[in-house]
Amino acid sequence: MMNYLITLMNLKTSNEDEFKDLEIQIVVALDFIKSKFGFLTTEEIKEAFKMYVARQFKDIKVFRILDSVSIGEVLNAYIEFRNQSLAPYERKKQNLINATSGITDSEKQKIRNEFLKTVFDDLKECGYCDWAYRL
């Protein structure tokens, strides 16, 4: 992944010292990503940097630097973008949860009775019911 980010950002070194510094920075940056952003997938991190290079994060100026500070800015901007993108789905999910929680006690009892009848019929017919473990 780090090699992908270096290539994507077109980071170059002009001498051996810069190359060694870049190698050290890569190790530190990878540790930083694992410890603070370990919940992101590799594909999400790649997408975040693609968006960064494409200047899709309006609040972040693009530099050809791959250090922990810039990585933190990019990944935090991506997380904020992702959360905003998922917000409509979360609202819809919450609305569905709220709508289904309005089941009355009599409806719950009816559902239980239908379930028991289904289990009984399966046991009677086949001698086995896949759903009996839920009892």
Q: In which domain, by residue range, is 115 found? A: 106-135
Same domain, 51 and 97: yes
117 and 132 share a domain? Answer: yes
Domain count, the chain: 2
Indicate whether 84 and 22 sit together in one domain: yes
Whole-angstrom distance, CA of residue 59 vs CA of residue 66:
17
Mean pLDDT of 3-29: 89
**Do 51 and 83 reside in the same domain of the chain?**
yes
E strands present in 1-135: none
Q: Does 74 lie in the same domain as 21?
A: yes
* Claim to verify: residue 97 and residue 38 sit in the same structural domain: yes
In this structure, the answer to whether residues 120 and 71 fall within a common structural domain is no
Taking the C-alpha atoms of residue 15 and residue 115, their distance in angstroms, rounded to an integer, is 73
Residues counted in the chain: 135
Task: Indicate the pLDDT class of residue 53, thresholds 50, 70 and 90.
Answer: very high
49 pLDDT above the threshold of 90: yes
pTM: 0.64
For the segment 55-85, what is each residue's pLDDT rounded down to a tens digit? 999 888 888 888 899 999 999 999 999 998 8
Q: Which residue has the higher pLDDT, 12 or 100?
A: 12
**Same structural domain, 25 and 88:** yes
Residues 64 and 112 reside in one and the same domain: no
Same domain assignment for residues 115 and 83 = no
Residue 119: name the closest of 127, 108, 129, 133 by CA.
129
Q: How far apart are CA 103 and CA 39, in angstroms?
A: 36
Q: Are 22 and 60 in contact (CB under 8 A)?
A: no
